[in-house]
Structure 1
Amino acid sequence: MADSRRRFRPGLVALAAAAFLAACSEREPILPGEREPVRPDATAEAPETLPALRIPPAQVNTDWGHLNGSTEHLAPSVALSASPALRWSVPIGEGDARRQRLISAPVVAGGAVYTLDAGGNVTAVATDGQVRWRASLAPAGEQPGEGFGGGIAAADGALVVTTGFGEALRLDPVTGGVQWRTRLEGTVRAAPVLGDGIAVVMARNNLGYGLNLDSGEIVWRLEGVGRGAGTIGAASPALRGPVAVMPFVTGEVRAVLARSGLTVWTAALTGGRRDLVRSIISDISGDPVIDFDIVYVGNQGGRMVALDRRSGERLWTLDEGSYSPALPVDGSVFVVSDAAELLRLNAADGTVLWRTGLPEWERPDRRRDAIPHFGPLLAGGRLVVASGDGLLRFFDPATGADLGAVQIPGGAAAQPAIAGGVLYVVSRDGRLHAFQ
């Protein structure tokens, strides 16, 4: 893999350090006046008049085969109890550790929940909590924790898994046996998307692939423009009809024909919050969502855009980022921002209709240990956010009002899946929890 780190001249570094130390040695005057926080308190803010919101009827779905339940990442309105309780919990393997993270979301297909832990182990769990099988995908000679990440997709009897070892595999959903294994050119941190006989995969070294779903053969390979640093996780490609939307680590968004890899259009998502160092990283973290003819995508530095699906033309830009897919609903778009706020946006122009704060730090006095938030999803007529601080939170979609929470033992590690009126979420300590 190419080294994407910047190289500096020692002399320039020494001069910069000397200037910085000199500046720090001067006592900064304390100005009079009242101190106010940079960001508002974590409370709901909404204008007096909000546009009407029609919540789609909740579906009792059976499968949730991709991230957010569809190849478009367009999460449906699904059924869930008004007061869900923990039904069962089972271990699925390795969780977070010093040099590895559990970042892969579960999927549900054919009466089983499939998970990928931080050690490259796939587990199939029946919807009653009984483990059916477990398979290690670590290549011979590799340390399991070195290949964390990747993801799972299931569709039409196919179960495809990508791993941090830089491989894509098709497994037998019943036994876990490997049907094919394809070596790629870089680490894979995101789940694939399956459609029209192709598995579309993004690798971390700015490469995209189309694999034959029957054989695993590489049908096409795309290289993004330039090089860039990425986050621990990664965004998955989205697919609607013949077109896949590919999110590259440099902030490039490219629409391609899924069967051939032929480029339809290219757009760029750059920029972020000026007061944050991380805004110089252009990695896309808010997975692309295709809502009919609009594509929503966000980065981790504080930028989100709406693009025309046919042309790639930018429709609007918002100075808010995202670590999860956006949720379009009836003329509104809901998103958990990079600044730990749940937002309702006007889908027509991206303006913020309300914002509700979420806890941002486990140690707020030192701004240490950021709390991850996954969602939102629309279940039982409410917005659902699963958080790393151990809470499954519920909110009113119309106003952003807090509707309560239940405990997630171990804290959420990835986006939940919902099927058959049950919410499944993996925790940071390597367990799968079912809420009903």
Structure 2
Amino acid sequence: MVKLAPIFLMASLMGGCGMFGKTTDTVSGWFGSGKAKGPQPATLPEIRESASISRVWSSTTSEAGRYVFTPVVDGEAVFVAGESGKVARLNLQNGTEVWRLDAGKSLSAGVGAGAGLVLVGSRKGELIALDAATGARRWEVILSSEVTGAPVVEGGKIIVRTGDGRIVGLNPDDGSRQWLYVRQLPALSLQGTEGLAAGDGSVYAGFSGGKLTAISASNGVQFWESSVSIPRGATELERVTDVVGKPVLDGKRVCAVTYQGRVACFDRNKGTLIWARETSSSVGLGMDDQYVYVTDARDAVTAYDKESGRAAWRQDKLANRRLTAPLPLGKYVVTADFEGYVHVLSREDGSFVTRSRADGGEARARPVDIGPGFAVQTAKGVVTAFKLN
């Protein structure tokens, strides 16, 4: 489920689940992606390169289908997966395959890693834990519905999110349930890359209606809940304002962005609002030690001062190119687009630094920091590692 251009529009009914259209329908028409006619993507601007970019390695897993899959780095390994069930461990330095297997399931989410495990989830709610070193299957459990977003490991628990509004904490040893957090979903919501952010024993999750929640990783108790944005408008579609992507955090704050709403930062401990600015995003945000970066619904990237929320710069020359969420990377900010182009911007003013292209067409997932460099996984399942010089 994801930002496929896949963010899917769902209508869930109390006492059951009814779909707004077919399960394979996307909101391409709403977001200007897919086959629906809409604004034409901007022509790639000419740039004066101030840095060079090179490919380091490339590897192929299975295609993403209608989902978004993001590689995860754990030590010297990169773990990748795709919809058909292929999961692989790659060498971080050169991309060589350490192991590859077929999970035997149609996957919807991944990859998570930690506690010596590699974690992937299926559209039927199966969570599969593999041994990180060998790929051997350690255990498998069935959850309440489709697994959405990559699982995280925090506070000695595996934390998993499902499409029916539940977050569950599992024992890493056998997958047994330790706690359950349940939230009622509204009649109409976006179902996108419903990521979880975790740190210092807390898990942060965004929900429909613009809500951001902090819960305990150890027992699932809610610490606080705050509003990133508040639904507005006369119709249900106008009132859709869901948190999209994965919240970002540092030692002081946690920040999130909504569709048709705001980007906002909150105190991590208390949930009190630090600042908020009007915007709309369908993919998410990134953060470093100076700025919060948002890719908005028009595919402009804006840098907000993370202390004050003041907009420092905005790069709008990639309009309608269906950009990914931005990855801050030292002096640079990296995003990728629907043709697989990778755009490197200056952190200081948003100007273009350099550009390259990943194999495999459309990039949906945010590029991943593999230190040094970054990796991009495209919809066709090609993972390409790049190095900035």
- Alpha-carbon separation, structure 1, partners of 2:168 and 2:355: 40
Amino acid across the alignment from 1:414: A
- Alpha-carbon separation, structure 1, partners of 2:227 and 2:18: 19
Q: Structure 1 unaligned segments of length 5 or more: list them.
A: 8-37, 45-80, 362-370
- Alpha-carbon separation, structure 2, partners of 1:129 and 1:282: 39
Pairing 1:183–2:138 present: no
The farther-off stretch of 239-248 and 319-328 is: 319-328
| Aligned with 1:408 (options 353, 358, 368) | 358
Aligned runs of 1:387-426 on 2, under 5 Å? 387-409=337-359, 410-426=361-377
| Aligned with 2:271 (options 303, 309, 312) | 312
The farther-off stretch of 172-181 and 316-325 is: 316-325
- Corresponding residue of 2:322: 372
Aligned runs of 1:29-44 on 2, under 5 Å? none
Pairing 1:122–2:72 present: no
- Alpha-carbon separation, structure 2, partners of 1:281 and 1:221: 26
Q: Structure 2 unaligned segments of length 5 or more: list them.
A: 1-11, 22-38
Residue deviations 1:86-139 (CA, integer Å, cap 9, x gap): 2332221124xxxx3241110122432211212232122223232233223344
Aligned runs of 1:334-349 on 2, under 5 Å? 334-349=293-308
TM-aligned CA deviation for residue 434 of structure 1: 1.8
- Corresponding residue of 1:65: none
TM-aligned CA deviation for residue 358 of structure 1: 4.5
Task: Name the CA shift for 1:275/1:116 in 2 (closer, same or farther; >3 Å).
Answer: farther
Q: Are the counterparts in 2 of residues 206 and 250 from structure 1 also a CA contact under 8 Å?
A: no
- Alpha-carbon separation, structure 2, partners of 1:84 and 1:272: 42
Structure showing greater Rg:
1
Residue deviations 1:34-92 (CA, integer Å, cap 9, x gap): xxxx9xx9999xxxxxxxxxxxxxxxxxxxxxxxxxxxxxxxxxxxx942212332221
- Corresponding residue of 2:74: 109
Percent identical among aligned pairs is 25
TM (norm. structure 1) is 0.72
Q: Are the counterparts in 2 of residues 289 and 325 from structure 1 also a CA contact under 8 Å?
A: no
TM (norm. structure 2) is 0.80
Query: Which structure would you say has the larger RCO, counting Cα contacts within 8 Å and 6 or more residues apart?
Result: 1
- Corresponding residue of 2:9: none
The two structures, once aligned, show a CA RMSD in angstroms of 3.0
TM-aligned CA deviation for residue 228 of structure 1: 4.5
Moved over 4 A (4+): 4-7, 41-44, 271-279
- Corresponding residue of 2:8: none
Residue deviations 1:372-415 (CA, integer Å, cap 9, x gap): 32242233521111222221111111111111211122232312
Q: Are the counterparts in 1 of residues 118 and 129 from structure 2 also a CA contact under 8 Å?
A: yes
- Alpha-carbon separation, structure 2, partners of 1:400 and 1:273: 31
Task: Name the CA shift for 1:240/1:110 in 2 (closer, same or farther; >3 Å).
Answer: closer
- Alpha-carbon separation, structure 1, partners of 2:203 and 2:172: 15
- Alpha-carbon separation, structure 1, partners of 2:208 and 2:147: 12
